[in-house]
Structure 1
């Protein structure tokens, strides 16, 4: 088992064990230590045990997934990596390790170490990804340096007079740092997208880093803080997974996507076109005068060249569908009012069981409730019709398969004393006077097929990696038995067989397969038992029975 699978599985098993132990002893301390990686505070003991352990179990699942992603090895190198890319990968993994392992250094030291890791990552991230302009890279560096500088100043000025002196601007500074972090993350994801070497999953995980702070705030608002809020904060692992995946996929080949640069003339032209096409809130209803000498009116019937099913058409469009279906360009020009009047009159006569010349499928567009009494199928939608036809096709296939299984059951092995594990028997019914064949599935056999069909073949024709058997008949099913042997079989007397013929076939891939013969889909084994090479085919045939023996030609007697 690979190390990342082993680590994630082991961590998940240990987490479940710690939760069971916590349930047994009545305290969440073991599960808390294993999932949160620091001792629990006093509020943990005041929390309800079962919901708390449920949250810790969820956190354990997330941590196992995080270990899975972080410990996965890099993808195979697609393109040579430059020195900058190699350093970026190394620093990204170092950043993941630094954020993952709990630190007990004083605050200023942790800040300095964090800056020493993150600033080079930021600089290299502005250099390695392709597809971004110089201005974009410069802006990425500027926004990326805002938060580290603010963090360093806050760490050095904590609990000091300097922070109190600048307190009026302190909150504004924190807001600016938060905004800079947000913009930086967006720019990093844009740089990854423009470069094209990172997968969509990595980008989506990067987008998910924006969701985790809102999740913490939501949990805090619903639970008023406490242990559940601490669990929610600890579940902010998407950033670590994004860093690890970013490092792992650095050696992919860039597939640069063009940045979205819109020429200034495009918005102006779009606005002008929008002003030109904006009309009323809805199209006017039919006025019974749509068929006039004008292209705009004739466009009303585009898409209604044949009557559609009434269930597929919205109720407010059925009148137009009827008009477009019954009025032909070559016929007399009748108004919409006259056409609809004739249609409603036909519906009334149809309801009274009087003879009607109109097609029921067309009248269903005007009076579906009347037509449906006699022709309920006309009220079905296309999807229902397709479903009904699919059910009929399934019944036909099942019937054919059942009959084929009966035919297969009647077939017997014509040489039962010559047994091998690599054999099968199936019935073949030649409906179209077509032969069946044995071929190499990885070979291009089109040319071999042409050669066989162009030659004068009696019962067996071979060419290269294809063999065709012309022994079947349309009058009854043929029982086909194929046996793959390690060596040439003993000679069999020709008595009882109409023909005994032999020919060679080649397999370059080490596979020779029999095409599916029976509707019951009997599977024949691989007939090339000795791997790639030349094989000998021997065919015994009589009415209704074919016996095929195949063995390596180099061992033939």
Structure 2
């Protein structure tokens, strides 16, 4: 630890640093200033209650006890889980705040009721977020959550202002206590200022630790609680206070030539700018959200800090070049979020919504499907029964186009044929027809024209094998436990084949006659085979 600021950090911050801190003059100066402020804070807390000037009511006694309990709770290091820390903190502060609205005098009951309701908004939000920890990623990206956070911040600000006004009207608390209460606003503002200027790190941690005015205000409120209420004292704010506040505001806003880094993609919240890899379609995004969608989708320069205003300026400049017919590096789909009227002149399809694109795609698929069905019906019409003398009512003919050298099959409609299919594919040699259990596959040779497939279901064995006019004639056995053998749909016209198991459950014999462009399949009960 020699050569680092770690010892000074431990003495001042009261907890070990998360990383090695260099002993730079800026860090050491900040720790020295923080040490002085902490010493003043500890002195304010350890003074204890002032001598009792007037008899205190029971509510005031309990209020003083709870205020000091809040002070001690804020001073101890965090050693409990987050949920336990939250519950204990709320259990100490909420009763104290309720008693404070009861003890205060000088303000009417409508004013104190409004103060109580505003003061309970932040604890209610904290408790809700703590109990739905698993839903935080969903909440962070919702507009309702962001609006709620803003409303709660405004309610907390108004509550603190009303509380200080009520203390002033009560008259028990000194001007120093009221000014320290006003300083709590400045301390929170200082943390946000340092955060925006430094983007995290040691200096930000020191700034957050300097937020001790709230603890001092609690301690002084408890210390002076036993004074006698009197007429409101004049609260004279030193001239330097508004001057310093105006200076801090100017530092945050910054000059127009160097825009200040705002939130969105540079926020510490991981889900603040969650977006898909492709930019969203402009028609799917509300007009007031398009700038944000652009900043979330645009490519950011690596290693450089670029403000949101500069990113938007680059986008608008690209829109101007695009409108003038010049070359623009940005993608048209991305620029459509900023200037849809410009991009739409050349790329009108980028202005369509996802629903419109889906309808167009569905229409294209329907047209292609109808075209396939029309072509399949023409192929079916050219197919003829290769054995017209062998007639049966249970037969059908359809065209089959072997696009991917895949076989067609006959199977039991109610059976699980996964194992049978695996056995067929794992066989070393299957020929033009292979069968296993309740599945049979016909491997039609690949060709550039459709194959006419005719299947005939018979009640008895057909005439003996005749090979004349056929290249190959093969036979195989298949089982149907349900008595429902089906031929898979072959043609895009969806020709339906009848049930090929004429005799119900049992074993069947398949006989395949094949020649180029023609397949004939006869199915008959195996027990009646000749």
Q: Report the TM-score when normalising by structure 1.
A: 0.49
In the alignment, what sits opposite 1:385? 357
Aligned twin of 1:376: 348
Cα deviation 1:455-513 (Å, max 9, x = unaligned): 21111111111111112423221100000001011125211101111111110000100
Match status 1:280 vs 2:252: no
* Matching of residues 336-485 of structure 1 within 5 Å: 336-455=308-427, 456-485=429-458
1:507 aligns with 2:484: no
Q: How does 1:105-144 map to 2 (within 5 A)?
A: none
Secondary structure of the equivalent of 1:404?
Answer: helix
Residue 272 (structure 1) shift: 4.8
Gap change, CA 1:288 and 1:269, over 3 Å in 2: closer
Distance 1:544 1:291 in 2: 69
Would the aligned equivalents of 1:291 and 1:298 in 2 still touch at CA under 8 Å? no
SS at structure 2 position matched to 1:300:
coil
Q: TM-score, normalised by structure 2?
A: 0.51
Residues 433, 443 of structure 2: 8 Å contact kept: yes
User: Do the aligned residues in 2 keep the contact of 1:427 with 1:480 (CA within 8 Å)?
Assistant: yes
Cα separation, 1, equivalents of 2:460 and 2:431: 26
CA distance, structure 1, for counterparts of residue 260 and residue 493 of structure 2 = 60
Report the Cα distance in structure 2 between the residues aligned to 1:505 and 1:370, rounded to whole angstroms: 67
3-state SS of paired residue (2:294): helix
Looking at CA atoms only, which structure, 1 or 2, has the larger radius of gyration? 2
SS in 1 for 2:151: coil
After superposition, the C-alpha distances for 1:216-239 in whole angstroms (9 at most, x for unaligned) are xxxxxxxxxxxxxxxxxxxxxxxx
Tell me which of 520, 523, 530 is aligned to 1:550: 523
CA shift for structure 1 position 342: 1.3
Residue 322 (str. 1) matches residue 192 (str. 2)? no
Could you tell me whether the CA contact under 8 Å between 1:304 and 1:324 is conserved in 2?
no
Q: Distance in 2 between matches of 1:369 and 1:292?
A: 25
Report how far residue 327 of structure 1 moved.
3.7
The aligned residue for residue 221 of structure 1 is none
Report the RMSD for the aligned CA atoms in angstroms: 2.8
Secondary structure in structure 1 of the residue aligned to 2:521: strand
* 8 A Cα contact 2:479 2:508, kept in partner: yes
The equivalent position to 1:531 in structure 2, one of 504, 507, 512, is: 504
Uncovered stretches (5+) of structure 2, i.e. residues with no partner: 1-121, 131-144, 155-252, 254-258
Where does residue 494 of structure 1 map in the other structure?
467
Once the 2 structures are TM-superposed, how far is the Cα of residue 292 of structure 1 from its aligned partner?
Answer: 9.2
* CA offset digits 1:72-114 (Å, max 9, x no partner): xxxxxxxxxxxxxxxxxxxxxxxxxxxxxxxxxxxxxxxxxxx
Corresponding residue for residue 37 of structure 1: none
TM-superposed CA distance for 1:451, in Å, is 1.4
Residues 1:294 and 1:328: Cα distance change in structure 2 (over 3 Å): closer
List, as ranges, runs of 4+ consecutive aligned residues in structure 1 with deviation greater than 3 Å. 268-272, 274-279, 281-284, 291-299
Q: Where does the alignment leave 5 or more consecutive residues of structure 1 unmatched? A: 1-267
1:257 paired residue number: none
* Change in CA separation of 1:366 and 1:432 when aligned onto 2, cut-off 3 Å: same
Alignment length, in residue pairs?
290
Quote the offset at 1:328 in angstroms. Answer: 2.8
Distance 1:466 1:292, change over 3 A: closer
Q: 1 CA distance for matches of 2:284 and 2:264?
A: 28
Post-superposition shift, 1:434?
A: 0.8
Q: Displacement of 1:543 after TM fit?
A: 0.7
Partner of 1:3: none
Tell me how far apart the structure 1 counterparts of residues 497 and 407 of structure 2 sit (CA, whole Å).
17
| Cα distance in structure 2, aligned partners of 1:501 and 1:293 | 69
| 1:107-146 deviation digits (Å, cap 9, x = unpaired) | xxxxxxxxxxxxxxxxxxxxxxxxxxxxxxxxxxxxxxxx
Contact kept in structure 2, 1:507 and 1:528, CA below 8 Å: yes
Q: Kindly tell me: are residues 359 and 275 of structure 1, through their superposed partners in 2, closer, same or farther at Cα, counting changes over 3 Å?
A: closer
Distance 1:508 1:314 in 2: 59
